[in-house]
Amino acid sequence: MPAQRIIHAPERFALTIERLCRHLIEEHGDFSNTCLIGIQTGGVELAERLRTRLAEMGISGYDYGKLDITFYRDDFRTAKGPLTPQQTEIDFLVEDKRVILVDDVLFSGRTTVSALTALNHYGRPAQVELLVMVDRRFRRTLPVRANYRGLAVDTLHDEYVEVQWAETHGVDQIILTGSEQ
């Protein structure tokens, strides 16, 4: 059985969300020309948590959406099984706005590139930034980098990083699963 270990415990998890929100406020002010878009599915969970904390900090009124990238992926035709697309919920244009794309884990960069392609259907943004909870460094296959990151993790090729949320897993934590020893 693959070894599992907690690399980001619940106590630090809340602090990371807080730090990300404060960094966003520092860069975006009152969010008057900003929109927050979570990439289905893991990015939506993080975006919801950020949105909740930002509201507690007095930041609201910005556009918020959820973006499905299933059919924009470069590997969807080679998938071994049927893909299950999620709902895209963007009822606004991103034209001339500052877009914050949110995802849970940045690994190869392919998800981000797919999201950028899908985002083109909603206008031409003034700027696009990427916020991730976990940046798996040294494993990028495309030239993508996060503007905001909660945690940087150096992983081996056969390791897997999973962000677990209290709403779905009962606890906020980040798990690293390695190969059998």
Q: Per residue in 29-87, pLDDT tens?
A: 999 999 999 999 899 999 999 999 999 999 999 999 999 999 887 766 665 667 788 99
In a domain, 148, yes or no: yes
pLDDT at position 59: 97
In a domain, 126, yes or no: yes
pLDDT at position 153: 93
In a domain, 177, yes or no: no
Q: How many domains does the chain have?
A: 1
- CB neighbour list of residue 166: distance below 8 Å, 6 or more residues apart: 172
In a domain, 99, yes or no: yes
In a domain, 168, yes or no: no
Q: Are 38 and 67 in contact (CB under 8 A)?
A: yes
36: CATH: 3.40.50.2020
181 pLDDT higher than 50: no
Task: Pull the structure tokens for residue 96.
Answer: 């001339």
In a domain, 161, yes or no: no
Q: What are phi and psi of 99, to 5 degrees?
A: -100, 130
In a domain, 108, yes or no: yes
pLDDT at position 162: 95
110 pLDDT higher than 60: yes
pLDDT (tens digit per residue) in 9-38: 999 999 999 999 999 999 999 999 999 999
Domain that holds residue 93: 11-23+30-76+85-155
Mean pLDDT value of segment 91-99? 97
In the predicted model, what is the mean pLDDT of the chain?
A: 92
In a domain, 65, yes or no: yes
Q: Are 78 and 110 in contact (CB under 8 A)?
A: no
Per-residue pLDDT band for 179 (boundaries 50, 70, 90) equals low
